[in-house]
């Protein structure tokens, strides 16, 4: 049986994830119309904004006969505390210990989106909000993006399998791209995890060593590559990175050494605008497909020409969010029986 929660793909085997992906394909093809959530419900807790995640989870639950309750702590639900033993004399009205237990009495699943606070990576990398929910909830918990984005990983891998077939040994380029603000590393961490887990030859392209991802994910990527017969290569050379790529995946993120001191990162970031994905770079590839998790700033992260090209499959990936999340909700509910 697969794990109780879906917090990270690191806790799931390739085979367990493939079963979820196969189920997602059945949902997409319409060959699985089972109402696996009949009479069931999911609480969706959003500590941060969303378009795709909220819509696809709400509709996914509805399509399987279930119901989703959306809560935004601090907006339409009480602000929450996560530390134990603290004197709650600040903004928080509710402790996660009660909130997670109460929601578990009402709902069959709990899903959480809680981005890093972007001031101290040593704190953020502990993923305390998600960990607290998984500790105190008595129902399965799903990660809707924290320091990783495992639902996006499944949608990406479904897209990769649809476009490339067997992904093993295909060249997957994960490229840092320009953005005026330092963004979450979650999707980059996740792309590295899932591409390496499925045996791809992963190239990580970033402006300088300061943009390497957290050692936890670099190490997991290297271990996955070793186990699955793929590889993990880091480069700062744009031409070398794009050359022969079968799939280009773009994401911008903030350099971890500058967490909380972002003004010191601005110079490097401003000097790296040329990392934007454009048609000239894509022409170096092996007729690669291009994708991004979205939202994407046009002509900042990728040009209009790239986004409007036939090789851009970002919309397919966004659609896949619906199918993979339905498959994951159905799987976790079955594990409970």
Give me the residues that bind ligand CP (CB under 6 A), please: 50-53, 145, 152, 293-295
How many CB atoms neighbour CB 54 within 10 A? 18
Residue appearing with tokens 């981005």: 115
**Cβ nearer to ligand CP, comparing 181 with 273:** 181
Q: Is 268 exposed, middle or buried (0-12, 13-18, 19+ CB in 10 A)?
A: middle
Contact 159, 126 (CB under 8 A): no
**Cβ nearer to ligand CP, comparing 124 with 317:** 317
* Residues with Cβ within 8 Å of residue 294, at least 6 apart in sequence: 52, 314, 317, 318
**Cβ nearer to ligand CP, comparing 104 with 177:** 177
Give the nearest distance from C-beta 191 to ligand CP in angstroms: 12
Give the nearest distance from C-beta 296 to ligand CP in angstroms: 10
**Cβ nearer to ligand CP, comparing 52 with 170:** 52
Give the nearest distance from C-beta 51 to ligand CP in angstroms: 4
Query: How far are the Cα atoms of 136, 169, 183, 197, 199 from residue 164, in angstroms, in the given order?
Result: 40, 11, 29, 16, 13
226-262 core/surface letters (b: 16 or more CB in 10 A; e: else): eebebbbebebebeebbeebbbbbbbbbbbbebbeee
Q: How far apart are CA 60 and CA 207, in angstroms?
A: 38
Mutual angle of helices 314-336 and 52-63, in 10-degree steps: 50
* Residues with Cβ within 8 Å of residue 110, at least 6 apart in sequence: 42, 43, 45, 100, 103, 104, 133, 137, 139, 140, 141, 142
Query: How far are the Cα atoms of 168, 188, 250, 307, 320 from residue 313, in angstroms, in the given order?
Result: 20, 17, 12, 9, 11
Give the nearest distance from C-beta 321 to ligand CP in angstroms: 7
**Cβ nearer to ligand CP, comparing 197 with 251:** 251
Contact 226, 201 (CB under 8 A): no
Q: How far apart are CA 237 and CA 78, in angstroms?
A: 48
Give the nearest distance from C-beta 316 to ligand CP in angstroms: 13
Give the nearest distance from C-beta 145 to ligand CP in angstroms: 6
**Cβ nearer to ligand CP, comparing 58 with 305:** 58
Kindly report the CA angle at 228 between 225 and 231, in degrees rounded to 5?
A: 30
Give the nearest distance from C-beta 235 to ligand CP in angstroms: 26
Give the nearest distance from C-beta 53 to ligand CP in angstroms: 3
Residue appearing with tokens 């986004």: 307
**Cβ nearer to ligand CP, comparing 131 with 294:** 294
**Consecutive H or E run containing 85:** none
**Cβ nearer to ligand CP, comparing 241 with 293:** 293
**Cβ nearer to ligand CP, comparing 143 with 331:** 143
Give the nearest distance from C-beta 310 to ligand CP in angstroms: 22
């Amino acid at each position: 049986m697969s794990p109780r929660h879906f917090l990270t793909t690191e806790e799931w085997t390739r085979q367990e994830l493939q079963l979820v992906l196969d189920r997602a394909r059945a949902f997409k093809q319409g060959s699985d119309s089972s109402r696996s959530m009949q009479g069931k419900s999911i609480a969706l807790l959003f500590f941060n904004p969303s378009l795709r995640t909220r819509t696809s989870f709400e509709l996914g639950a509805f399509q399987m006969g279930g119901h989703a309750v959306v809560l935004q702590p601090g907006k339409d639900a009480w602000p929450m505390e996560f530390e134990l033993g603290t004197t709650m004399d600040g903004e928080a009205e509710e402790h996660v210990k009660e909130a997670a237990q109460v929601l578990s009495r009402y709902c069959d699943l709990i899903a959480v989106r809680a981005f890093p606070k972007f001031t101290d990576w040593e704190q953020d990398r502990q993923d305390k909000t998600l960990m607290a929910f998984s500790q105190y909830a008595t129902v399965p918990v799903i990660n809707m993006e924290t320091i990783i984005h495992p639902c996006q990983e499944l949608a990406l891998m479904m897209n990769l399998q649809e476009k490339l077939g067997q992904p093993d040994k295909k060249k997957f380029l994960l490229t840092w791209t320009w953005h005026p603000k330092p963004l979450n590393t979650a999707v980059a961490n996740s792309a590295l995890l899932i591409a390496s887990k499925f045996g791809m030859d992963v190239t990580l392209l970033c402006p300088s060593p300061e943009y390497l991802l957290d050692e936890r994910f670099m190490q997991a990527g290297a271990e996955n590559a070793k186990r699955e017969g793929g590889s993990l290569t880091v480069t700062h050379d744009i031409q070398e990175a794009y050359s022969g790529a079968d799939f280009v995946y773009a994401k911008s993120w903030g350099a971890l050494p500058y967490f909380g001191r972002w003004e010191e990162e601005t110079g490097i970031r401003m000097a790296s605008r040329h990392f934007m994905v454009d048609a000239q770079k894509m022409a170096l590839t092996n007729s690669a497909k291009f994708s991004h998790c979205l939202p994407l700033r046009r002509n900042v992260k990728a040009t209009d020409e790239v986004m409007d090209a036939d090789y851009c499959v970002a919309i397919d990936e966004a659609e896949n969010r619906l199918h993979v999340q339905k498959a994951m909700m159905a799987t976790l509910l079955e594990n409970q029986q």
